[in-house]
Amino acid sequence: MTSAIFSALNVLTHPVGAGSVRDAQTSQQDALLAALRANRAFLLEQLQTEEGLEVRRLREEARARAAWFSGDTEDTTWGFVQECLLLLLTLARHLSVQLELFNQTPAPSAAKLRTPEMAPPLPPDVLSVTQQKTLAAVLQFVVSLGLCPYLAPGVGVALGRRSEFGAMVEGLVRGSLVPAGERRLLTTTNVLLELAELSSLATPLFTRHLGDVTAALCQLGYRPRRSDAASTKEEKELGIDERKTCREALNTLLGKVYQPIVIKELLILQGGPKQAAPVGGSSGTTNRSALGAAPPWLRRLCGQLLSERLMQPKGVQAVVRAILEGGRGGESDWRKCDSVARILVACPQQSVSPDSYYRQVCPQILELLHFKDKLTAQQFQRVATRAVLTMVEDKPEFGQQYILAPLLGPLQSCAIPTGEGNPQCPVEEWELSRCVEDVYKIWVVGNSPSAALLKALEEVLPVLFTLFCFTKQNVSHLRAPCQEILLWYLGHTEPSGALSVLRRLSGLGGQPHGVAPEFHFTPGSDGGARLSPREVVSDEDDALYEQLSGEQWRLECLVQLLAELQDSDLPGDFFLELLQVQSIHTEEEEEEEEEQEVDVSAMTLLEVEQHLLGRAAGRGQSLALLQVLAVVCEGLPHTLLLRKTTQVVDFMVSLLQRACVGLGQAPDPGTENPVESQTLSMGIGLVATLLSGPQLSAEDYASMLRLLPPLEKLSQKHPEAAIQELASSLRAVIATHGAYKPENLTAAAQYSRKPGATQNNNRVPSTKKQKMQPPAKSSHLSQTRSHSPTMDTIPNAPSNPPAPAQCKKKPNPIRTQTSSDAEEPGAQHANPTQTKPLIPGHVRHTEAPGASDPGPPTRAFSNWLLEACDPEVPTRAVALRALTRMVRDGDSEAVQAQEKVLVLFLENLEHDDSFVYLSAIQGLAVLADSFPERILQRLLGEFQRGPSLPTSDKEHSLETRLKVGEVLMRASRAMGELAPHLGRPLIGAFLQGTRDQDQTVRASCLSNLGELCQRLDYALGPLAQELSSCLTALIKTEKEAEVRRAAVHVIALLLRGLSDKTTQVLSDVLLELYRALKWVVRSDRDDVTVLHAQLALEELDDVMRRFIFPEQKLEKKIVVLP
């Protein structure tokens, strides 16, 4: 029966009598009317036949119930719509009856025959694809001919704006000229709502025509009734009960449908502006300009309905989804996000009060920050961020109460309670994690600094910093957001505010922790942190140690935080402020010492106690300040502390002012402080270096004017004449902006850098200095030590002096031309001027054994052989390196004496000092590379049977074998393309070594085997089966974890070396190796072995992916035809 009803519906929608219609056609409207009449007549004829008998019966039953049906209407379109509505009602009632019978009468026989593979029986209201298409066509006819034409102007989207066919239908049916237009609209709407009671029919109806049905209900229920003479009787006959029913139906419909779709349709119904704006570049502007202006009553109604949707639970989310769904994150989507944020912040007129509105909406705005979907989270986060920022700026009282207070609540709960009525309680991990993430999204990602946001964040900054210090001690996902929040605040707040916060966090400005002493942060189960009560420590020493170590760790974390501010002046400003405060404390302490002792006898006990506590607190502040200064100086480089000229000048002002303290007092010979004298020398040298620079701007000289008072004081009151002269010269250069510059300015700077120069200038004669000068061989080191205070100010200068033995044996490349006697031992000490550096204060360091080699040796080959046996370690190591270089360069004497060199290297291989035996290993590797066939055989014998020299130490043979294994590994790496030819003996030795009794030898053999096999390529094919058996057996039977790690690492090296050749070379054993690796991952108890196996599996995965999915290469081939 369902198929018969759809056949009747298909008759109405399918064109019939096309030939007669085409002959009679004069226009499109006439053709449409003729087609509608023909289809209706053909349907009535079909219903008179036997096939349509049952459908006619059901149609007559529906007609008897339909009081609105008029059979004698002369309106062709309305007659066609009536037939469609009757058949739709017939279909709905038939499907309802069948569905009720289906639910009431289960089929037991079918249940017995049902198997797990069988699908459940379909209910009778399930429509096929063809039936759905027919139903959609009928609904489109009903809406286009029976609903839209009767809507008032501006209500809904006009048919003429939808398509050309809609414009033609709009001209055909003039609903405003029809006497009973609103009654027809009510009839069509009621029938469609009756259809919507069945879910199978409601889906196609509301999917395509929800906006039209909503517009009809709005007009029927809320359109103001006209009282002028133009109103017709039919319009007045629409009673109050009918309008009330339409309003209830509208509310029911809007409550049942998915809310974002409802909001979209209401926005469309609200219409465009009264004067359409020009079409912009974004899609939203185009759609908006296509809408006509809605009547005022409809705009007010839609606004009220939208406000209701917004204020209901999850209404904010529905509004955001309605506007942003379908976007891809482009520029227009970001503009939409900002627009939605402004809509959410604006309180609607329909709201009872702003307080109730924001109390209901603000928690929903914060919930937008907690979505996990990537694209949705980005858009929702943008809306929430902009809404929060706009609300905090425009509505500060509501923003503080309903946004910032709940947002920062967990962090504020961690803070020390301010009143007795607010006891501190534990904070769970999820609360802290969500709070930190929300703060990061609003403050850092939003990146719109305002006074309100900065002030709110400053209140919880101590707690946030304490949490950051805790995360630095553990692995936590909160470390990065905490650090970014702190850096954002320090980078966006005012410099004075940032310095105040740094003083507070460092413990110099009050309580730094922010968390009560009886609470602390503990690790959470999900990688976060939670606030929990602290266990009471009974031992006072332990409690004191815990407190001091915690303060030290906080300072280190603060310095690490400042180190991240690479492009900021804040670290330098903080350092300079600490110096200024330290200078003030020093002056106050000196003034207190100058004052007479306080008469304690005239004071009460309370006053004495307060006096002593005040002095102790002051000294405690001084100690804390010195501790902060020490940590800052140790943890931050000078390039970060003094990155600008003005900061350097401020530093020098502080330094010179500190040096000027006490100059007016009489000098006491017994209380001289060499540290202060050296500090003053360094300060004057720094000023001279700065003034001797190539380019100084007027701003630089202007900032240096602050140096004039301390320099003037030094030039007048310092006891040493040299300091007075230098200070006077520097003062003259600064005052004249460089117009006056003495010739000895650079020399004065270099002179002042020597720590002992100012002390001995007026006391030690120059002749005495020459007599006391050390020998030439140590003059280089003495100059290095004397210039060490200024080495830190030279960029990239080495911080440690060279080793004495290296300086003794390595010839200085910067020297004058001398006679040939300088090549003999001890000749280099004959003339002290030969080793004097040409650049004062600059020291050329010797290179490490792994660095680039020095220049060509100037001694004879025999001399190097003798020095290679010298008992002095540096002499022997340098000689071995020289012999290695000669072998590499193909020296004729070294080639002829290769046997002696080999024996010499093997003897030194057993030396205890790493500097010697590493040089010997390097020499043996070079020998094996130069003479592989002979040297490799000898090394293999040493590796398999132990050292064979008569002087060998048998007790240390294992160590020697491992060193020889290192030589063989280096030789394997250097073989290159000769590995298939030279590596065959090595593979046999290494495979045999995997059965050695010592585990270290087995591991060494496997390591060498991996290095060699990854270079054999196709030559590895015949050995693949043997190699696989060996590795698989070791992986499954070896007890030592170190050997199993090496075996798995060999497989990884094999796969990495063969790469795309793996499937060809290891085709027979690849499955076996794969199973062995999987066995390790599942069964091995050593974590490192499992890690190696996972890395090998990743290598194998990459190989197989490239093999199965080869890279597509677009190549153009040019073929020359014969």
What tens digit of pLDDT does each residue of 666-683 get? Answer: 555 544 555 567 677 777
Tell me the two tokens of residue 632: 């800052």
- pLDDT category at 758 given cuts 50, 70, 90 is very low
Length of the chain: 1122
Which band of pLDDT confidence, cut at 50, 70 and 90, is reported for residue 483?
Answer: very high
- pLDDT-above-90 percentage for the chain: 5
Tokens of 903: 């024996």
Q: Are 1043 and 1003 in contact (CB under 8 A)?
A: yes
Do 319 and 337 meet the contact criterion of CB atoms below 8 Å apart? no
DSSP state at residue 595? S
Least confident of 13-22, 435-444, 1053-1062: 13-22
d(CA 690, CA 269): 74
**Rounded Cα–Cα distance for residues 546 and 1029 (Å):** 56
pLDDT-derived band of residue 174, with 50, 70 and 90 as boundaries? Answer: low
Q: How confident is the model over 219-238, as a mean pLDDT?
A: 64
Which pLDDT score, from 0 to 100, does residue 440 have? 93
What are the backbone dihedrals phi and psi of residue 117, each rounded to the nearest 5 degrees, phi first? -80, -15
Residue 501 and residue 490 in contact, taking contact as beta carbons nearer than 8 Å: yes
Residue 769: count of CB within 10 angstroms of its CB: 10
- pLDDT of 556 > 70? The answer is yes
Give the residue-averaged pLDDT of 302-318: 87
DSSP letters for 630-667: HHHHHHS-HHHHS-SHHHHHHHHHHHHHHHHTTTTSPP
Least confident of 226-235, 645-654, 775-784, 900-909: 775-784
Among 149-163, 670-684, 803-817, 937-951, the minimum mean pLDDT is found in 803-817
What confidence tier does 106 reach under pLDDT thresholds 50, 70, 90?
low
Residue from 775, 670, 761, 780 nearest 722 by CA? 761
Crossing angle for the helix pair 1041-1058 and 1024-1037, nearest 10 degrees? 150
Label residue 482 by pLDDT band (50, 70, 90): very high
Q: How confident is the model at residue 435 (pLDDT cuts 50, 70, 90)?
A: very high
173-187, 326-340, 745-759, 962-976: least confidently modelled range: 745-759
**Above 70 in pLDDT, residue 226?**
no
3-state secondary structure 315-346: HHHHHHHHHHCCCCCCHHHHHHHHHHHHHHHC
Q: Are residues 738 and 701 in contact, defined by beta-carbon separation less than 8 angstroms? A: yes
d(CA 953, CA 957): 6
Single-letter amino acid, residue 98: Q
pLDDT band at 592 (very low <50, low <70, confident <90, very high): low
Give the least confident one: 377-386, 418-427, 1046-1055. Answer: 418-427
Beta-bridge mates of residue 522: 530
Q: How far apart are CA 132 and CA 139, in angstroms?
A: 10
User: How far, in Å, CA of 958 to CA of 1120, rounded?
Assistant: 66
Owner of token pair 């080639």: 895
**Residue 415: beta bridge partners?**
515
Q: What is the mean pLDDT of the chain?
A: 75
Mean pLDDT confidence for 965-970: 80
Predicted local distance difference test score (pLDDT) of residue 785? 34
Q: Check residues 308 and 978 and name the one with the higher pLDDT.
A: 308
Residue 155 has pLDDT above 90, yes or no: no
Any idea which residue has 């000078």 for tokens?
638
Instruction: Name the least confident of 501-505, 683-687, 795-799.
Output: 795-799
Residue 140: is its pLDDT beyond 70?
Answer: yes
Q: The tokens of 188 are what? A: 């069509």
User: Which contacts of 744-748 are long-range, i.e. CB under 8 A and separated by 24 or more positions?
Assistant: 745/688, 745/691, 745/692, 746/688, 746/692, 748/684, 748/688
pLDDT tens-digit map of 12-21 = 887 765 444 4
- pLDDT at site 468: 92
Q: Is the separation of the CB atoms in 575 and 636 below 8 Å?
A: yes
Q: C-alpha distances in angstroms, 588 versus 568, 594, 895, 975, 1018?
A: 32, 10, 77, 74, 82
Q: Which residue has the higher pLDDT, 641 or 585?
A: 641
Through-space distance between the first and last CA atoms of the chain, rounded to whole angstroms? 75
Q: What are phi and psi of 523, to 5 degrees?
A: -65, 140
Say whether pLDDT at 731 is over 60.
Answer: yes
Q: Give the 3-state secondary structure of residue 523.
A: strand
pLDDT > 90? residue 337: no
Count of other CB atoms within 10 angstroms of residue 964: 24
Q: Pick 846 or 177 by higher pLDDT.
A: 177
Confidence of residue 654 (pLDDT cuts 50, 70, 90): confident
- In this predicted structure, what is the pLDDT of residue 485? 93
Please state, in angstroms and as integers, the Cα–Cα distance from residue 672 to each residue in 573, 662, 668, 675, 786, following that order. 32, 12, 7, 9, 20
Q: What local confidence, expressed as pLDDT, does residue 772 receive?
A: 35
pLDDT of 437 reads 92
Question: How confident is residue 1060, by pLDDT bands cut at 50, 70 and 90?
Answer: confident
Mean pLDDT across 487-510: 87
349 Cα distance to chain centroid: 42
Contacts 24+ apart (CB under 8 A), 1022-1025: 1023/987, 1024/1065, 1024/1066, 1024/1068, 1024/1069, 1025/1068, 1025/1069
Handedness of CA 761, 763, 768, 773 (dihedral sign): negative
Whole-angstrom distance, CA of residue 337 vs CA of residue 320: 8
CA–CA separation, 528 vs 478, rounded Å? 6
Position 850 pLDDT exceeds 50: no
- Average the pLDDT over each of 114-128, 284-298, 452-466 and give the range with the smallest value: 284-298
Of 84, 27, 377, 66, the residue nearest 205 (C-alpha) = 84
- The SS3 of residue 530 is strand
Look at residue 957 and tell me whether its pLDDT is greater than 60: yes
Can you tell me which residue has the tokens 């009143």?
419
Strands 519-523 and 529-533: antiparallel
pLDDT at 489 (0 to 100): 92
